[in-house]
Amino acid sequence: MRQFWKENRRGNEVSKIAYFDCFSGCSGDMILGALLDVGLSEPALKAGLNSIPLEGYHLVVEKTKRASIAATRVKVIIDEDEVLPERSLSDILEIIEASDLSTEVKERGVTIFQRLGQVESKIHGSPLDEVHFHELGGIDSIVDIMGVVIGFSILGIEQFYSSPLPLGGGKVSTAHGILPVPAPATLELIAMVQAPVTDFTNPLISEAELVTPTGAAIITSLANFRRPSIILENVGYGAGEKDFGAWPNVLRLWVGEETVLANNEELILLETNIDDMNPEIYGYLMDKLFKEGAVDVWYTPIQMKKNRPATMVSVLAPRYAEFNLTETMMRETSTLGIRVRPICRHTAERDILEFESSLGRVEVKVKRFSGEILSMSPEYEDCRRIALERGTPLREVYRVVEMESWKCFAGSVGTKVENEVVNR
């Protein structure tokens, strides 16, 4: 028999990762400084930033010390004659899209600013398209955020992890007046992903904003909050603006490699409970969610308050699709809130194989794990066609095809002798 197959073998892959050690908090400029300290090329960073249509600033990178630790400090210096406009979310997204950056870098930047937009909308009670950023829409915030995602791309960092975030205390002066620390935007960003926090008590520091909205937006948009198993390659220190004397006000960035199974996926799970919606809408909703990037969608019958029958909508998706999926669920359903949490999914390795059985041409799906074949499942549509053409019971077609597929492929999956790739 001539064999045709699509190979989708996946083994161990080495992934470059970063761990944000936020023992003294984090901000956008601290993360950027840590990236430069860990080996990011300053000329390469500036070249990436120069591709963004944003003028009126220059970047200053300097070595400094915080307590006894040497660190890198990054300053975004705004030109004296520069007029600083208030920017809306759409203004910032247009700036990002107009750059010559890669699609991946643009998507990460857009994700971070969209999250900031959601938070500002909630805090100020304004529609998302009417939100205007103040400090967060300034040149320095755009440079910090886009500089960080450019740096991740240059260094090839693909996965992100973080320690719990210290809250700090006191008050901070903003364009909206004097606000408590943590700033409302920071606290909302932390709450959105249920990030773990720690109380920061240090006799050397009475009041301080340790986690800024920019730093919180970057980390909560990208990182999983746990310490990974890491083969440590380098450590960088990004200096904060304030000097706390004997306490090192730095962000410590660990960079290294993590060896994981390639079929171990980091996803998010979005869930909401609905008890007051026309059931005809659910089918339409599922189609929309898949188009917006969902990996899987399912509905579970549940009982809510007053013993009212309801439906729990569950959506499994990559993190970058969170904004679009949240917007779709808000617009298309009657929900008032959506729960989000990180999920790890292990998937089996799958091949689609086609061969000429004694009953005709059929495809089978091969399930493998750690290189071992666990099952072979004949394709329903092919078996149905053969059953109708031959007048043979469908279950008999299944039996024959499965038996012959094992004989045909069990010894050859993993080799490519006389096989052709099937593109599907």
pLDDT of residue 413: 44
pLDDT of residue 55: 87
Q: Which residue has the higher pLDDT, 368 or 340?
A: 340
pLDDT of residue 259: 64
Instruction: Give per-residue pLDDT as tens, 245-300.
Output: 889 999 999 999 976 555 677 899 999 999 999 999 999 999 999 999 999 999 99
Instruction: Give per-residue pLDDT as tens, 369-395.
Output: 877 888 999 999 999 999 999 999 999
Percent of the chain scoring above 70 in pLDDT? 86
Q: Cα Rg for the chain, rounded, in angstroms?
A: 26
pLDDT of residue 286: 97
Q: pLDDT category, 174, cuts 50, 70, 90?
A: low
Q: Residues 364-370: what's their mean pLDDT?
A: 86
Question: Using CA atoms, how far apart are residues 345 and 268, in angstroms rounded to an integer?
Answer: 10
In 3D, which of 283, 344, 291, 346 has the Cα closest to residue 321? 291
Beta bridge partners of 244: 247
Give the count of beta carbons closer than 10 Å to the beta carbon of residue 310: 16
pLDDT of residue 132: 65
Query: Do the two domains 264-346 and 348-420 of this chain adopt the same fold?
Result: no
CB 408 within 8 A of CB 355: yes
pLDDT of residue 206: 63
Q: Which residue has the higher pLDDT, 78 or 169?
A: 78
Q: Which residue has the higher pLDDT, 300 or 198?
A: 300
| pLDDT value at 414 more than 50 | no
pLDDT of residue 8: 34
Q: pLDDT category, 177, cuts 50, 70, 90?
A: low
pLDDT of residue 370: 74
Instruction: Give per-residue pLDDT as tens, 84-123.
Output: 677 888 889 999 999 999 999 999 999 999 999 888 888 8
To 5 degrees, how large is the angle CA 113–CA 263–CA 254? 55
SS (H, E, C) the chain: CCEEEECCCCCEEEEEEEEEECECEECHHHHHHHHHHCCCCHHHHHHHHHCCCCCCEEEEEEEEEECCEEEEEEEEEECCCCCCCCEEHHHHHHHHHCCCCCHHHHHHHHHHHHHHHHHHHHHHCCCHHHCEECHHHCHHHHHHHHHHHHHHHHHCCCEEEECCEECCECEEEECCEEEECCCHHHHHHHHHCCCCEECCCECCECCECCECHHHHHHHHHHCECCCCCCEEEEEEEEECCCCECCECCEEEEEEEEEEEECCEEEEEEEEEEECCCCCCHHHHHHHHHHHCCCCEEEEEEEEEHHHEEEEEEEEEECHHHHHHHHHHHHHHCCCCCCEEEEEEEECCEEEEEEEEECCEEEEEEEEEECCEEEEEEECHHHHHHHHHHHCCCHHHHHHHHHHHHHHHHCCCECECCCEECCCC
Give the least confident one: 143-152, 233-242, 346-355. 346-355
Q: pLDDT category, 320, cuts 50, 70, 90?
A: confident
Under 8 Å CB-to-CB from 401, ≥6 apart: which residues?
357, 359, 362, 364, 378, 382, 383, 386
* CATH number corresponding to 264-346: 3.30.70.1380
Counting beta carbons within 10 angstroms of the beta carbon of residue 320, is it exposed (0 to 12), middle (13 to 18) or buried (19 or more)? middle
Most confident of 236-240, 254-258, 291-295, 353-357: 236-240
Domain range list for the chain: 13-261, 264-346, 348-420
* CATH number corresponding to 348-420: 3.10.20
pTM: 0.60
